[in-house]
Amino acid sequence: MTVPDLMPLARSKDIIVQQMDDECLIYDLTSNKALCLNSVSAEIWKKCDGFTTIQEVTEMLGKQMNIKLDKDFVWLAIADLEKNKLLIEKVKRPSEFENLSRRKVLFKYALSTLVLPLISSIVAPTPVNAQSATACPAIPPGCMGGIPGGIPTGCPCTLNCSNCFPGACNLGTMMCV
């Protein structure tokens, strides 16, 4: 067995992992990036232990999804995990999977009810920005009129501290609109 036959090692340092139903939420403490791995990506990431073979993961996923899968499916997920810095080191892919594209894999499995591995991300604010964004502004007396459903238009707001009535909080001005 050569090294590319084995799953790479998943990163476990400087991340916070939270399992949510079928998805896996990961917060990267070094880049302040929040990642959401769908069920397929999460399952593949959990198998990144350096011992399990790519063929074993391919067969396991195929059985779970009740479909015949090839290694390209797992390599696509590994490429996404690597791109999102969820693996310890860069992975040496076999040449046939070097330029693998999501589009190519999607068309290959297009007729099945297959869920492709997917990682969504959002950059979280830095601690300084996060702190200032969560501080509630002083609400002037006229803005506390006890209107059911929230604070009136033109009053200060934040997403974390209040809901505006009847509209929403304008994040640029932090005023109810």
Contact by Cβ (8 Å): 177, 167: yes
The whole-angstrom separation of Cα 154 and Cα 177 is 6
Q: What is the pLDDT of residues 86-95, one digit of tens each?
A: 999 988 877 7
Q: What is the pLDDT of residues 108-133, one digit of tens each?
A: 666 454 566 667 777 766 555 554 44
The whole-angstrom separation of Cα 166 and Cα 177 is 8
Q: What is the pLDDT of residues 2-22, one digit of tens each?
A: 455 899 999 999 999 998 888
The Cα-based distances of 47 to 11, 41, 44 in angstroms read 12, 10, 5
* Edge-to-edge order in the sheet of strand 15-20: 15-20, 23-28, 33-37, 119-123
The whole-angstrom separation of Cα 102 and Cα 154 is 46
Report pLDDT for 96.
75
Q: Residue 134 corresponds to which tokens in the numbers above? A: 């969560």
Q: What is the mean pLDDT of residues 49-66?
A: 93
Judge whether residue 135 has pLDDT over 50: no
Report pLDDT for 45.
95
Task: Tell which wins on pLDDT, 121 or 76.
Answer: 76
Report pLDDT for 145.
46
Report pLDDT for 158.
53
Q: What is the mean pLDDT of residues 28-40?
A: 89
Helix, strand, coil percentages in the chain from 3-state DSSP, rounded to 5:
30, 20, 50
pTM recorded for the entire structure: 0.62
Q: What is the mean pLDDT of residues 36-50?
A: 92
The whole-angstrom separation of Cα 158 and Cα 175 is 8
Supply the DSSP string of 8-63, one letter for each residue: -BBP-TTEEEEEETTEEEEEETTTTEEEEE-HHHHHHHHT-BSSSBHHHHHHHHHH
Report pLDDT for 169.
65
Judge whether residue 51 has pLDDT over 90: yes
Report pLDDT for 121.
75
